[in-house]
Amino acid sequence: MKKTSTRLADGRELIYYDTRDDAVRTAPDTRPLDAVTTTSEIRRDPLLGDSVAIASHRQGRTYHPPADECPLCPSAPGRPTEIPDTSYDVVVFENRFPSLSGDAGRCEVVCFTPDHTASFADLTEAQAALVLDAWTDRTAELSHLPSVAQVFCFENRGAEIGVTLGHPHGQIYAYPFVTPRTALMLRSLAAHRAATGRNLFDDVLTAERAAERVVLDAEHWVAFVPYAAHWPYEVHLHPKRRVPDLLALDGPARAEFPRVYLELLKRFDRIFGEGEPPVPYIAAWHQAPFGEPDAYDGIGRQDFALHLELFTIRRTSGKLKFLAGSESGMSVFINDVPPEAAAERLREVAS
């Protein structure tokens, strides 16, 4: 992998990740851009104890432009974009409309491919491996920022999810706090350790591998529909050797990941049969927070288990799972698809 860092016309950082060591990236950003101004601030809810990002400047962000005006495609003569070069392998750059900025964190965009009509599932294994390298490198770099407590790499696909740009891409959020979801996991880890002396992630993985909800069991990775799945079709992908983050993955697990992950994405596109529009999904990496060790009753980074959650909000053909009163009002999910049935379907559509 070759990494080339440059700056856009408004000062934002842009990084090319190339598979070829002889790749040269010198094209300048010729757009007359003003410096980015943001209104991001973090406010803490005194009753729930969680944090909310207030970012009113995002109201003006780019919204579903036509394909010939896509800002994530490579630049072309007379049509400069966010990526100055006329081609790229993988590109990461600071978001022009960030939810988090400055002391409130950082937001980056990850472009997986220059092909506007593709999706992650269309990548080759070599391309997917390069994306994994980019996620890992950005996790390492962002973890060194003094304001960053947690790095979150994720992809939203589909207008139903809320994506405003159709080009295949993901994002990376560097939070200045430990997210509520992760804090809950850490508290559960601490309680389980106090009650049993064991690691909760290890025990969950052992139980799930013995159940009927495993959908893919590779040499270094295992994917399953969790016992208490929140979403109609939800898969958790774990390396079999517990590690806290992407940086700690060993060579064999890194080498196997592209094949395993691409297979899972292709299965998601087959769930509802041929002729259906692409399945909207969220793919989210859960990594251990950075910062003070043993911050949660003796639970440290080494106790956390890196894993990826992949889920769709489509519950059946032509119907979406909406968060209604119970989910949005009280955070109690109601799942219409039994996890065992979801796992069986995901096994049926294997390549």
* Greatest distance between any 2 Cα atoms in the chain: 65
Q: Are 197 and 303 in contact (CB under 8 A)?
A: no
Would you report the helix, strand and coil content of the chain in percent, each value rounded to 5? 30, 25, 45
Q: Nearest Cα to 321, choosing from 344, 337, 342, 308?
A: 337
Which among 167, 169, 192, 236 is annotated as catalytic? 169
b/e string for 159-196 if b means 16 or more Cβ within 10 A?
A: ebeebebbbbbbbbbbbbbbbeebbebbeebbebbeee
Residues 6+ apart with CB under 8 A from 184: none
Nearest to 282 by CA among 313, 261, 245: 313
Cα–Cα distances (Å) from 76 to 68, 73, 299, in that order, read: 10, 9, 51
Q: How far is it, in rounded angstroms, from Cα 157 to Cα 148? A: 26
Q: Is residue 169 annotated as part of the catalytic site, yes or no?
A: yes
Write the secondary structure of 29-50 as one string of H (helix), E (strand) and C (coil): CCCCCCCCCCCCEEEECCCCCC
* Structure tokens that stand for 323 in this block: 């968060």
310 pairs with which residues across the strands? Answer: 235, 283
Those residues whose C-beta lies under 8 Å from the C-beta of residue 310, and which sit 6 or more positions away, are: 234, 235, 236, 237, 264, 265, 268, 281, 282, 283, 284
Helices (H) and strands (E) in the chain, counts: 6, 15
Do residues 2 and 113 touch, judged by C-beta distance below 8 A? no
Catalytic residues, by residue number, are 169
